[in-house]
Chains A and B, each alone.
Chain A
């Protein structure tokens, strides 16, 4: 069943990919292959593979997460997206404390313990990355005024 589903999704994807590839510039004299041949060949290959999954699915048993795990997965994904978006505006320290705490909570830590660990880990990682390895860590656009 899941094979059919993934076959269907892949089929849609490969057709879309094929249409995009079709509209790429054609080959010209000095370059017999052109930019279009490879993507088009790939679209054909992927379409065939998708059809294989759709028409001759294997009998794999996929163990989906149970109902209680879906919210945890959702929260984790949202937290990760938030980290990507907040790192620049809030800076490494604040964003990391928030994200670390949130993820620790997903793994069922108690809030006080999670917050303490988050602060400790943030300081340790700041020392490692910012001071020892001298990597660039964002200070945070929101706080830039404070340091001037």
Chain B
């Protein structure tokens, strides 16, 4: 325990350096704005910033602090548009709308925003404690993972994410398969050119940033264009951004329980913030909703999902950092950025880069305080941004996305590819093919094949290596469980399916 404390103090020393404080602030601020605005979301925010941070030559520590700040900051911002406009930026805020928008309709938008900011703070802060304590433990355990274990673990990640996002398991699997196909374009580990059609510029394959911004941001532009014919949503009056002491005390245990639940769910691959928020809402509804006020503007119905979806973010960082396996689209993009910097997250990541890990943890404590301080008094200012008309906002997003990619690659071809992925993404969204599995597969695909080939090299081509250890067999059992999940969830998840076009971040 003293060891943890000493490391954490070291982390605070690094995180308190002016550069790192500044990027943490920029991260949570940009995250809040990005989470609030339609059409951007954390996954695009991070994807767009990757080429920019590379061009700026930012330190890996500062970069990770920045991306994490955007990631959890966006959950705060998301709740603003959810509560006041009933427009959840990502699926993880849909549960918040159930009571948050009801409260806003009754003129209690301010209290709803306040409780959501406080719940987010509680979820964010409690879960960082979990990150701090459990990440080193998992890393120690994961050292025994060989290539065969990694290969099966990746299959497990793909099947759970496919099972849990979107409405149809088969479509999730199709998305995963398409992502794996995209990942195969280019030279493989033995320098064989695959699916390049003799084009030199395809030899490096498609950059995951190009695929991500195309699939998510460009497709969102098209969705918004389609929506122009439907008129803009009206902003509701907020009232004072405060809650009473009674409201606070009645929801404190809701927040604590939901934080723990959200953190635990966030650690699981594929589940993440969306499932966490819905589970927290359902659990609290059973536990505290004695007068059936959930769904009619109960502040506890806002506290539960908001604490859970923020806690899930720290949870999701655990498999990312200790196994190198992201469980969602956004963490996949962060993994891609770390890999591009030659930092490969995995069991040895924490022991090799203790400074990086502990400053990230410390920065998350600081960042959550910043968010609370920013959100309670300044929410009125943020809300103004929601009033920026679509015809200014959307072209601005387009320009930023295209210029960010161009500045990194100086390639018109990449911009064309990005546009093509955008059109494909639009049609996939229309037909309910989830997009997050595509990105996960694009980033993990090459690693999966490398581990597969390495395992077979070790065993001289004997496929028995994929069933040789108890650990591998246990992981296969998890794969089977994840394949059965859709059968259980099919009847029980009508609510999540309400927002088919909201991307999973």
Contact = CB atoms under 8 A, between A and B. Distances in A.
Interface of A: 2-3, 6, 10, 17, 20-21, 24-25, 30-33, 35, 38-39, 42, 45-46, 49-50, 52-53, 58, 60, 62-66, 68-69, 72-73, 76-77, 80-81, 83-85, 87-88, 92, 96, 99-100, 103-104, 106-109, 114, 117-118, 121-122, 125, 129, 133-138
A88 B412 contact: yes
Contact of A24 (B194, B218, B449): B194
Interface of B: 52, 55-56, 167-168, 170-171, 173-174, 177-178, 180-181, 184, 188, 190, 192, 194-195, 218, 221-222, 224-226, 228-229, 389-392, 394-396, 398-400, 402-404, 406-407, 410, 412, 415-416, 418-419, 422-423, 430-433, 449, 452-453, 456-457, 460-461
Report which residue of B167, B404, B407, B457 has the largest number of chain A beta carbons within 10 angstroms of its beta carbon.
B407
B232 to A, nearest CB: 10
Contact of A6 (B190, B398, B431): B431
13 contacts: A17-B181, A20-B195, A32-B457, A35-B188, A35-B194, A76-B225, A83-B402, A99-B399, A107-B228, A117-B392, A121-B395, A125-B399, A136-B406
A60 B171 CA distance: 12
A52 B177 CA distance: 14
A70 B82 CA distance: 28
For the complex of A and B, 8 pairs with smallest distance between CB atoms: A32-B461, A84-B415, A107-B391, A135-B407, A109-B391, A103-B395, A35-B192, A100-B395
Contacts of A24: 192, 194
A66 B394 CA distance: 21
B403 A92 contact: yes
Contacts of A76: 221-222, 225
A107 B399 CA distance: 15
B406 A39 contact: no
Given A25-B192, A135-B407, A118 B395 contact: yes
B192 to A, nearest CB: 4
Given A129-B407, A133-B55, A77 B431 contact: no
Nearest to A66: B229
Given A33-B452, A99-B395, A108-B391, 15 more contacts: A32-B457, A35-B188, A35-B192, A42-B177, A49-B170, A49-B173, A49-B177, A62-B432, A69-B226, A99-B398, A106-B225, A129-B403, A134-B56, A135-B55, A138-B406
B403 A135 contact: yes
A92 B173 CA distance: 40
A85 B452 CA distance: 40
Contacts of B406: 87, 136, 138
B110 to A, nearest CB: 30
Given A2-B431, A80-B422, A104 B168 contact: no
Contacts of A121: 392, 395-396, 399
Contact of B452 (A38, A39, A106): A38
Contact of B432 (A17, A60, A87): A60
A33 B465 CA distance: 13
A125 B400 contact: yes
Given A2-B431, A84-B416, A107 B398 contact: no
B398 A103 contact: yes
B225 A104 contact: no
A3 B431 CA distance: 8
Contacts of B423: 77
A53 to B, nearest CB: 6
